[in-house]
Amino acid sequence: MRYVSTRGLAPEKTFSEALLTGLADDGGLYVPYEWPSLQSSGSGDYLETAFEVMSLFTEGSLDEQILKQIIHDAYSSFDAQEVVPLIELDDQIFLMELFHGPTLAFKDIALQLVGRLFDHELSTRGEHLTIVGATSGDTGSAAIEACKDRQNLDIVILHPADRVSDVQRKQMTTVDSFNVHNVAIEGTFDDCQDLVKAMFNDLEYRNSLKLGAVNSINWARVMAQIVYYVVASEKLGSYEQPVIFSVPTGNFGNVFAGHAARNCGLNIPRLLVASNKNDILTQFFNTGGMEISEVIPTLSPSMDIQISSNLERLIFELLGRKGEEVNSLFEKFRSNGNIDVGPDVEAKFSNAWKGYSFDDEEVVNCISTESEKSGIVLDPHSSIGVLAARSHRDKKNDPEVPIVCLATAHPAKFPQAVERALGYCPPLPDRLADLHERPEFLTRLPNNLEIVKDHVKSCSRIDSGKQVT
């Protein structure tokens, strides 16, 4: 299995190379050279299906026994035996719970696997990476849980001091591991991001510490997410059985994995792209064009995004896999802030995708209505997916076809919206119940590049030759 860049100018890579590279040298994203075909439907067992799917994408790069072991280890930390339980809400509308991992959000599904893949690949090569990232709360904890205790990685995560919620901070700072370093920056999330960018832009510094990222454009993250689409389809019958998925969307990584599953042979007549009021994707799927504007803060902060980086993978396909065309489209996008793929291309995809967008009030109402109907308490992100599914059904689209709504976070992770809807804060699951009593480990630093760089250097075991026994 080989991987090519969406901009067509970077060299082809194997799976392992694409894993470690992340963003291609030409600024593009890696995608499979061609889509593999799924063989026959399995029983919906998560670990078995994960192996079936991922062995297609890692073929030639990763030993099958090692892949099996990594899959087993990655998902044994989940607190649901089925990993991603599927529940029927009512007639032919289902909820697939993707939040049973260590940090209560769906990012664990990809990151628990990717952290281990990184560690394996680095140890095979005798290399070491210092992962550096900025977080406004959500991704940081999933990355820390994925990288903790790994011999060949150190991880340093910057968050804005006093500007992330208590639960989110504690999910990061209570992790006690030799290779985990939390830094509270006296500044905003943007300041944190600027510091990280500046560290990556200093090539000498970057190379000496072997800085790395586990960001959402990494192909391996998309690959890991294809699995639950396949599992859902197996549980509902077989790959031939039509299933629609409704996906709360921000960076387009999750829903693109659905499209990848479709390309591998699942019968997915439509993907519902569910957004909050940052509705640039709704625009795109309704018109084939989109224009950037300011990010609007909402009750579903993990979807408060204007530029969905993974959309480039879909655009590559829509433009007939012509890297040069993708390149010039994104150059125009950078200078004008808008994209238009034109009516011919739009006609090609408009039937397979449908964009929906909802505001905070609709989200709060949905949480209370669904809780009255079924007793299920949704988090605000998942609620946007359920709203899209209900709205699709109410318009009499695709009668009889089951719709699977992906639930991307546990309600206790975003208690504010639930409290507004139901008047109480949902409790944390048992294994996190003592979170607020656990000791915290973090370093508070001013928003100063030199000080932060020195600190990151002192955390990295590369530079100092520090060894862990």
Residue 124: φ, ψ to 5°: -60, -40
Q: Which of 13, 68, 107, 332 is catalytic?
A: 107
Contact between 214 and ligand PLP per CB under 6 A:
no
Residues forming beta bridges with residue 443, ordered by sequence position: 183
Q: What track of x and - describes contact with ligand PLP for positions 180 through 199 (by CB under 6 A)?
A: --------------------
Minimum CB distance to ligand PLP, residue 104 (Å): 9
Rounded to 5, what percent of the chain is helix, strand, coil?
A: 45, 15, 40
> Which of 130, 171, 298, 302 lies at the binding interface for ligand PLP (CB under 6 A)?
302
Q: Where are the alpha helices (DSSP H) in 76-126?
A: 107-125
Q: SS3 for 409-420, per residue?
A: ECHHHCHHHHHH
Minimum CB distance to ligand PLP, residue 452 (Å): 25
HSE, side-chain direction, 13 A CA sphere, residue 361: 0
Would you call 210 a catalytic residue per the annotation? no
Q: Please, are residues 3 and 10 in contact by the beta-carbon 8 Å criterion?
A: no
Total residue count of the chain as it appears in this document: 469
Using the contact rule CB under 6 A, the part of the chain among 27-35, 100-108, 125-133, 339-347 near ligand PLP is 100-108
> Which of 6, 254, 276, 460 lies at the binding interface for ligand PLP (CB under 6 A)?
254
Looking at the Cβ atoms of 117 and 224, the one nearer to ligand PLP is: 224
Q: Please, are residues 369 and 390 in contact by the beta-carbon 8 Å criterion?
A: no
Looking at the Cβ atoms of 107 and 270, the one nearer to ligand PLP is: 107
* Residue for token pair 């905070």: 360
Residues forming beta bridges with residue 105, ordered by sequence position: 409
> Which of 136, 152, 249, 276 lies at the binding interface for ligand PLP (CB under 6 A)?
249
* Residue for token pair 């905003």: 188
Q: What track of x and - describes contact with ligand PLP for positions 338 through 377 (by CB under 6 A)?
A: ----------------------------------------
Using CB under 6 A, count the residues that bind ligand PLP.
Answer: 17
Looking at the Cβ atoms of 107 and 169, the one nearer to ligand PLP is: 107
Minimum CB distance to ligand PLP, residue 285 (Å): 14
Using the contact rule CB under 6 A, the part of the chain among 126-134, 163-171, 232-240, 252-260 near ligand PLP is 252-260
Using the contact rule CB under 6 A, the part of the chain among 55-63, 244-252, 392-400, 458-466 near ligand PLP is 244-252
Contact between 327 and ligand PLP per CB under 6 A:
no
Contact between 278 and ligand PLP per CB under 6 A:
no
Contact between 253 and ligand PLP per CB under 6 A:
yes
Residue 447 CB partners (closer than 8 Å, separation 6+): 185, 186, 187, 191, 195
Minimum CB distance to ligand PLP, residue 138 (Å): 5
Strands 244-248 and 271-275 come out as parallel
Residue 446 CB partners (closer than 8 Å, separation 6+): 185, 186
Residue 296: φ, ψ to 5°: -100, 125
Looking at the Cβ atoms of 106 and 333, the one nearer to ligand PLP is: 106
b/e code 372-392 from CB counts within 10 Å (16+ = b): eeeebbbbbbbbbbbbbbbbb
Contact between 114 and ligand PLP per CB under 6 A:
no
Looking at the Cβ atoms of 303 and 366, the one nearer to ligand PLP is: 303
Using the contact rule CB under 6 A, the part of the chain among 46-54, 105-113, 120-128, 396-404 near ligand PLP is 105-113
Contact between 251 and ligand PLP per CB under 6 A:
yes
Q: Which residue is nearest to ligand PLP (CB)?
A: 251
HSE, side-chain direction, 13 A CA sphere, residue 371: 21
> Which of 120, 270, 354, 381 lies at the binding interface for ligand PLP (CB under 6 A)?
381
> Which of 7, 13, 107, 461 lies at the binding interface for ligand PLP (CB under 6 A)?
107
For the segment 406-465, give every residue that binds ligand PLP (CB under 6 A): 408-409
Q: Give the tokens for residue 38.
A: 């799924």
Minimum CB distance to ligand PLP, residue 413 (Å): 7
Contact between 138 and ligand PLP per CB under 6 A:
yes
Contact between 383 and ligand PLP per CB under 6 A:
no
Q: What would you report as the CA-atom Rg of the chain, rounded to the nearest whole angstrom?
A: 21
Contact between 303 and ligand PLP per CB under 6 A:
yes
Report which of 406, 421, 412 is spatially closest to residue 369, judged by C-alpha positions: 421
Contact between 301 and ligand PLP per CB under 6 A:
no
Sequence letter at residue 79: D
The beta-carbon contacts of 278-281 under 8 Å, at least 24 apart in sequence, are 278/303, 278/304, 278/305, 278/306, 279/355, 279/357, 280/306, 280/307, 280/308, 281/249, 281/252, 281/308, 281/311, 281/355
Residue 312: φ, ψ to 5°: -60, -30
Residues that bind ligand PLP (CB under 6 A): 105-107, 138, 216, 248-254, 302-303, 381, 408-409
What residues are labeled active site?
Answer: 107
